[in-house]
């Protein structure tokens, strides 16, 4: 009887798991293709912090030919475009700005319908800084 009770409680606990928890999936270039909008940031000012919602966040469009565009939707900054390469879990973006090539690298964690980017050079954050994007197409 105790065994059956334990099994029942165990099954109930498993069934109460949060369905909103996303499963991390292996990153491939095909999964990256499409449009992604910034929806949350996790930027520490030097202590503990929480995810903060972003309204009208930047939009990345990753194309199958290795090109991308980044549309700035919330500031008066110029949009940008360039090429990208995925090396393991590092996303390398190459922009052309003012006639000069600039590189920006991000560590990427891919989930079912979101991806999280964290600077991986040449600029880094001393404290945690993460950018969560949601697939919009």
As a CATH number, domain 26-135 is 2.40.128.280
Residue-range domain boundaries for the chain: 26-135
DSSP 26-55: ---HHHH-EEEEEEEEEE-SSS----EE-S
Return the minimum-mean-pLDDT range out of 12-21, 89-98, 105-114, 128-137: 12-21
Higher-pLDDT residue of 114, 76: 114
Question: Is residue 124 over pLDDT 80?
Answer: no
| pLDDT tens digits along 3-15 | 443 333 333 333 3
DSSP secondary structure code for residue 9 in this structure: H
pLDDT at 104: 93
Chain mean pLDDT for the chain:
80
DSSP 55-66: SS--EEEE-TTS
Q: How confident is the model at residue 125 (pLDDT cuts 50, 70, 90)?
A: confident
| pLDDT tens digits along 22-33 | 676 667 777 899
């Amino acid at each position: 009887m105790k065994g059956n009770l334990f099994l029942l409680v165990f099954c109930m606990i498993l069934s109460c798991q949060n369905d909103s928890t996303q499963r991390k999936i292996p990153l491939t270039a095909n999964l990256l293709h499409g449009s992604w909008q910034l929806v949350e940031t996790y930027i520490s000012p030097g202590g503990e912090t929480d995810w903060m919602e972003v309204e009208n966040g930047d939009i990345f469009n990753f194309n199958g030919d290795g090109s991308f565009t980044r549309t700035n939707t919330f500031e008066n900054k110029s949009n940008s475009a360039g090429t990208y390469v995925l090396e393991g879990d590092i996303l390398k973006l190459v922009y052309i700005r003012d006639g000069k090539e600039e590189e920006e690298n991000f560590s990427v964690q891919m989930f079912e319908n979101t991806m999280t980017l964290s600077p991986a050079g040449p600029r880094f954050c001393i404290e945690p800084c993460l950018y969560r994007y949601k697939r919009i197409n």
